[in-house]
Structure 1
């Protein structure tokens, strides 16, 4: 029978250290007793420290010699002696501890599975797919990502932010796919944070993005480990923050905020259709109120006669211009939205639903607003909530008021000027040096660059 080739401990250990360079969550310990010693290497985020202390460290000092210790390790069902360096690394990325003695390399299974405290995703729901979300413990979050991205190219670097809070940050990226210029810029901006207290991912965005006063987000906050892993695989940088159940993904372009994980789970044509629906919802929620003001006050001749007469008949009892009618109803909708967020969860949905129904019915019967206005406001609210990310929908909620003001002064011409201005503004934005209005992911751009030579 042919004898299997075993790994040389010194060469294997040197290879492991080379592969895991710039990985901050790697732990290496040297255990010595008299003239005998062994080395153990493992991922802190993937291995259970209690199992390691009880079965590896304590037992080393309790047993008489290294030979007995190695026999004790081999007695565990999932312990094995790897034949190749690739087997060694693959098992380490699954939660095994590598043990290097003078003449042998062993793997001891100490996988840490985080289950307690992990809640279903609440802000990024999907119909099918994983339902777990990040917690407020940065080590647990790193464990969730490591289990999904088992590659030595996934590098992790620890930093702190806030001179008083000393909040822990972990920068994660794929060494082969990340843009080195973006990575350098991320580290530089995080190092330059001057805040005393950093408590949330929004604080990181506020202190690192330029300009600080902007309408749309240029960093994406995600509570989903699967989305974070997908973005890392596309060459982006993920930032995990202690005491925050979100990851920060950079650079994030405009198109990223209209992509849900359902788009990746469903068949490609269905994913394209769903994304198209969201862009239609974007235009409706931004422009529908402005078009109502323009058509009723400035440009009714553009509509068909029947539609113009229908709108005029609906507004026959309304005593003020359409601008005030739209503004009144949209502000009422904003009040209801804020109330639903601030009220206790037990009564919030009921109170806002009943309040909305009573307000809409009473305002219509009193002749303060038209029936068409109620339909329009409902459509605006629904289309705004189609956008997957709350941080983007907030910016869009504000932008529609700018179009209403332009439409009230200049009609359709004002809406056209507003669209041109908005596109120019989005085009001028940069996210870590990348154009914000770029419509394709970074990995697609790289593939195109390779094809073009």
Structure 2
């Protein structure tokens, strides 16, 4: 009678832990032995080493064929400890331990932590000065491991779905169920179910299918290779999509301000973080408007400048045989060619070839009188300003946005630039990222405040 009572208590504890860790596709539960002598295992495959579990837990059990002896073996094994505290059990399970439940109500936590260090490379596209340098890789389980090691909470859920009739690509939906908005999760699952493709190979490809509008200009989700960025966004109530066979994750919903936030900002004191973000927004304004302002002030509105500056610009352009907008387009397209060449060339020769090519082209074009000296300075400033944007997705968009402004400045001068700014702001205000206002730069997330209030009340 007492044995059955112990078994019932152990089963209740196991069931409670299973419910806490439900909706996680990396959850593994196993029953060893017969109904009389039964041992239950529970662990997370993404943070526990399966080979260690098979070698030091499962195999010895079947070799001994005795529950009592196996219990003594587990109790004497280094790295195992008994526990009946559900909070402690959950913490250790999320850290990579294996829960072993015996029929006499004994529970042991066996150390089988899986550490992925050798196969994890440093981040290449989102480099920061301080903080973690590791990045996602092509394995879905390794990526889950990188997230769970940083976010050891039973509220973290990982659901799996498959996309691609031919590729059968696994997608893991990772989120904190206490912070996520159910409407966003429901909308995401609806859009995932609506994707019908044969092959899915990249996270950016998934982002394109999720947006629903193939002609949109600005990205509405973040594609990142950094686990620390993914974990930070999960703590903010967002969803992370991990795509098997690719080293990038998709973060949603994303607003405009998210694309100008680097992980370095979280490590700096508050005034320094504000200054760095202000520098990025200033770079955004310069790279978008500087070429169009040059065209407008040179060809339409020279009265805006002082006389000395107007004469300086006119003297610099004295040998240029075509209008200012042609001059701007030639140099900007040359810069685009150099940028693309630096991306496609082998890393060993890419920087050298593009640097030398840029210097030769700039010097030769100036000496030949094809472009002005001021134009060389302006193009360099535009290129440098574009590179201060932390995320490449937004950087590629901004490279395109400046050309419509040049067209408007060519046709209408300064008035065209103002109309273009109004149009872009209206377009940004109309965008939604899974129901969230996209141009919410300084807004406060009401749901996040509600969650923090609930945590304080419960605490």
TM-score for both structures, normalised by structure 1: 0.96
1:242 maps to 2:244: yes
* Match of residue 231 from structure 2: 229
Aligned to 1:84: 85
1:201-238 Cα distance to aligned partner (Å, 9 max, x none): 12111111122211111110010000000000000000
Runs of 4+ aligned structure 1 residues displaced above 2 Å come to 440-446, 448-451
Partner of 2:41 in structure 1? 40
Counterpart Cα distance in 1 of 2:359 and 2:404: 27
Q: Partner of 1:283 in structure 2?
A: 285
Task: Deviation per CA, 1:23-72: give whole Å up to 9, x if none.
Answer: 22100001114731110000010100110001111111000310100111
Q: CA deviation at 1:8?
A: 3.9
* Partner Cα separation in structure 2 for residue 436 and residue 257 of structure 1: 11
Per-residue deviation, residues 246-279 of structure 1 (Å, max 9, x unmatched): 1100001110000000001111111111000000
Residue in 2 that maps onto 1:299: 301
Describe the shift of the 1:429–1:320 C-alpha distance in structure 2 as closer, same or farther (beyond 3 A).
Answer: same
What are the residue-to-residue correspondences of 1:22-61 with 2, within 5 Å? Answer: 22-33=23-34, 35-61=36-62
Partner of 1:3: none
Match of 2:313 in 1: 311
CA distance in 2, matches of 1:402, 1:272: 30
Alignment partner of 2:216: what SS? coil
Quick one: structure 1 residues 12 and 332, their matched pair in 2 at CA, closer, same or farther if it must change by over 3 Å?
same
Q: Do residues 353 (structure 1) and 381 (structure 2) align? A: no
| Corresponding residue number in structure 2 for 1:153 | 155
Matches within 5 A, 1:94-109: 94-103=95-104, 104-109=106-111
Report the Cα distance in structure 2 between the residues aligned to 1:345 and 1:215, rounded to whole angstroms: 30
1:421-449, CA deviations, whole angstroms, 9 ceiling, x for partnerless residues?
00011111111111111114775653179
Instruction: Give, in whole Å, the separation in 2 of the partners of 1:414 and 1:304.
Output: 22
RMSD: 1.7
> CA offset at residue 336 of structure 1?
0.6
Q: Is the 1:173–1:235 Cα contact (8 Å) retained in structure 2?
A: yes
SS in 1 for 2:229: helix
What CA distance in whole angstroms lies between the structure 1 residues aligned with 2:191 and 2:444? 21
**In the alignment, does 2:152 pair up with 1:142?**
no
Where in structure 2 are there 5+ consecutive unaligned residues? Answer: 1-6, 454-459
3-state SS in 1 of match to 2:95: coil
Q: Residues 51 and 156 (structure 1 numbering): CA distance in 2 closer, same or farther, change over 3 Å?
A: same
The answer to whether the 8 Å contact 1:7/1:83 transfers is no
Partners of 2:237 and 2:448 within 8 A in 1:
no
